[in-house]
Chains A and B, each alone.
Chain A
Amino acid sequence: MGLTFISSIIFATVVAGTPLIIVALGELVTEKSGVLNLGAEGIMSVGAVVAFAVTHHSGSPMLGILAGMTAGMLMSLLFGISALTLMANQVASGLALSIFGVGLSAFIGKPYESIALASVNPVRIPLLSKIPVLGPALFEQQGLVYFSWFLILAVAWFLYRSKAGLILRAVGESPVSAHSIGYGVVKIRYQAVLFGGAMAGIGGAFLSVFYTPMWVEGMVAGRGWIALSLVVFATWRPGRVMIGAYLFGGCMITQMFVQGSGAKISIPAQFLSSLPYVATILVLVLISRNRSTIRLNSPASLGQPFLPDA
Chain B
Amino acid sequence: MWLKFEQRPEPSKTMSYVSPILAVALMFLSGLLLFVVLGKSPVEGFKVFFLNPLKDSYGIAELFLKATPLMLCAVGLSVGFKANVWNIGAEGQLLIGALVGGGIALHFEHTSSAILLPAMVVAGALGGMAWAAIPAFLRTRFNANEILTSLMLVYVAELVVSWLVHGPWMDPDGFNFPQTKLLSPEATLPILLTGTRVNAALLLAIGALLVGWIFMNKSFMGYQMKVAGQAEHAGRYAGFSAKRSVWIGMLAGGAMAGIAGIAEVSGPVGQITEHISPGYGFAAMIVAFVGRLNPIGIFFSSLLMALLYMGGEQAQQYLALPSSISKVFQGMLLFFLLGSDVFINFRPRFIRRRK
Contact = CB atoms under 8 A, between A and B. Distances in A.
Interface string A82-93: 100011110111
Contacts of B325: 107
A281 B156 CA distance: 11
Contact of B144 (A99, A226, A278, A285): A285
A94 to B, nearest CB: 9
A100 B145 contact: no
A280 B322 contact: no
User: Looking at chain B, what size class is its interface with the partner chain?
Assistant: 35 or more
A81 B86 CA distance: 22
A110 interface: yes
B220 to A, nearest CB: 26
Interface in B13-33: none
Contacts of A92: 289, 334, 338
Contact of B4 (A88, A103, A226, A310): A310
Interface stretch (B106-114, B157-165, B186-194): B157-165
Contact of A99 (B7, B147, B330): B330
Interface stretch (B116-124, B196-204, B339-347): B339-347
B7 A307 contact: yes
Nearest to A307: B7
Contact of B160 (A86, A270, A284): A270
A281 B338 contact: no
B122 to A, nearest CB: 27
Interface in A230-288: 232, 268, 270-271, 273-274, 277-278, 280-281, 284-285, 288
Contact of A288 (B144, B147, B285, B339): B144
A215 interface: no
A285 B138 contact: yes
A289 B153 CA distance: 19
Interface string B19-60: 000000000000000000000000000000000000000000
A100 B328 contact: yes
A285 B4 contact: no
B335 interface: yes
Given A81-B339, A103-B324, A284 B149 contact: yes
Interface string B134-169: 100010001111011101110110011011001100
B152 A280 contact: yes
Interface residues of A, number: 48
A289 B147 CA distance: 16
B328 A103 contact: yes
Contacts of B342: 86-88
B268 to A, nearest CB: 22
A225 B339 contact: no
B331 interface: yes
A206 B159 CA distance: 25
A307 B289 CA distance: 23
Given A87-B5, A102-B327, A277 B156 contact: yes
A88 B331 contact: no
Given A92-B289, A281-B144, 13 more contacts: A91-B147, A96-B331, A99-B327, A103-B330, A104-B331, A222-B151, A225-B151, A232-B148, A268-B166, A274-B160, A277-B152, A284-B148, A310-B6
22 contacts: A82-B338, A82-B339, A91-B86, A92-B338, A93-B335, A96-B334, A99-B330, A100-B330, A100-B331, A100-B332, A103-B328, A103-B330, A106-B322, A107-B327, A225-B151, A228-B148, A229-B148, A274-B160, A281-B149, A281-B152, A285-B144, A310-B6
Interface of A: 38, 78, 81-82, 86-89, 91-93, 95-97, 99-104, 106-107, 110, 217, 221-222, 225-226, 228-229, 232, 268, 270-271, 273-274, 277-278, 280-281, 284-285, 288-289, 291, 294, 307, 310
| Interchain residue pairs A-B with the least CB separation, the first 7 | A103-B327, A100-B331, A106-B324, A110-B322, A270-B163, A88-B338, A270-B159
